[in-house]
């Protein structure tokens, strides 16, 4: 219950984006023949480790509201993690090159630790486990994420990159300091 205000903020934030987006649709200076689409890899960010993300705007323009989804994770000697981040984001710009990005969403997380102690009588408890400051209680869980950052996206499409502060939260707590770096390609339809 102590994180209920944060959860409500994350759940209502997308509604504010949609309302603002519909009101501003006719005012955009950066319309295109089709919605702008981006494909990028992200280190850190919404999926904690490494992600491959796809993103599209909901209207025929390079800014405004969009949706994104991806796959990510890592694998080590004993541990394996899989993430599936999904969310909405809002891009704001004045020159169609430099963008402020704000967003929110949810990430499905699968975590497994297969460490097996070889000596008798020793018990090894996997959960709870700390993943980038986020306490996880079981193999399958969901956590919320937010995004506040900068993105460089060319007017006519091309190489895109950015950095963002991406706080995470779940029923066990709030981790405000986590960052993500992205690098990919922006597809424009002029």
Residue 101 to residues 17, 34, 64, 65, 115, Cα–Cα distance (Å): 12, 20, 10, 10, 39
Q: Of the ranges 1-10, 114-123, 132-141, 145-154, which one carries the lowest mean pLDDT score?
A: 1-10
Classified as helix, coil or strand, 27 is: helix
Peptide bond into 83 cis (omega under 30): no
Classified as helix, coil or strand, 30 is: coil
Q: What is the largest CA-CA distance in the chain?
A: 70
Q: Of the ranges 9-13, 55-59, 62-66, which one carries the lowest mean pLDDT score?
A: 9-13
- pLDDT value of position 136: 86
Average pLDDT rounded to a whole number, residues 135-144: 90
- pLDDT value of position 57: 97
- pLDDT value of position 95: 94
CA distance 116 to 123: 9
Is there a contact between 139 and 103 (Cβ–Cβ < 8 Å)?
Answer: no
Q: Of the ranges 3-17, 78-92, 125-139, which one carries the lowest mean pLDDT score?
A: 3-17
Quick: pLDDT tens for 77-93. Answer: 888 999 999 999 999 99
Beta strands in 45-170 (DSSP E): 50-57, 64-75, 79-93, 98-113, 129-131, 134-136, 140-152, 158-165, 168-170
pTM of the model: 0.81
Higher-confidence residue: 104 or 122?
Answer: 104
CA distance 20 to 80: 40
Nearest to 178 by CA among 111, 133, 130: 133
What does the domain layout of the chain look like in residue ranges?
Answer: 4-21+32-93+103-187
Confidence of residue 13 (pLDDT cuts 50, 70, 90): low
- pLDDT value of position 5: 45
Average pLDDT of the chain, as a whole number: 85
Q: Which CATH number applies to 4-21+32-93+103-187: 1.10.510.10, 2.40.33.10, 1.25.40.10, 2.40.160.20? A: 2.40.160.20
């Amino acid at each position: 219950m102590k994180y209920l205000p944060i959860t409500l903020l994350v759940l209502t934030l997308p509604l504010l984006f949609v309302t603002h987006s519909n009101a501003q649709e006719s005012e955009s200076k950066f319309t295109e023949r089709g919605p702008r689409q981006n494909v990028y890899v992200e280190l850190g960010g919404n999926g904690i480790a490494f992600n491959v993300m796809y993103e599209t705007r909901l209207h025929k323009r390079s800014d405004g509201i969009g949706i994104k989804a991806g796959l990510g994770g890592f694998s080590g000697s004993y541990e394996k993690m899989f993430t599936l981040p999904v969310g909405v984001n809002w891009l704001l710009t004045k020159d169609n090159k430099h963008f402020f990005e704000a967003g929110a969403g949810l990430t499905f997380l699968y975590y497994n630790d297969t460490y097996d102690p070889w000596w008798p009588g020793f018990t090894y408890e996997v959960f709870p486990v700390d993943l980038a400051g986020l306490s996880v209680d079981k193999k399958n869980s969901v956590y919320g994420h937010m995004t506040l950052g900068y993105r460089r996206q060319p007017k006519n499409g091309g190489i895109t990159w950015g950095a963002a502060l991406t706080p995470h939260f779940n029923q066990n707590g709030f981790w405000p300091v986590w960052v993500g770096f992205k690098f990919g390609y922006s597809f424009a339809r002029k």
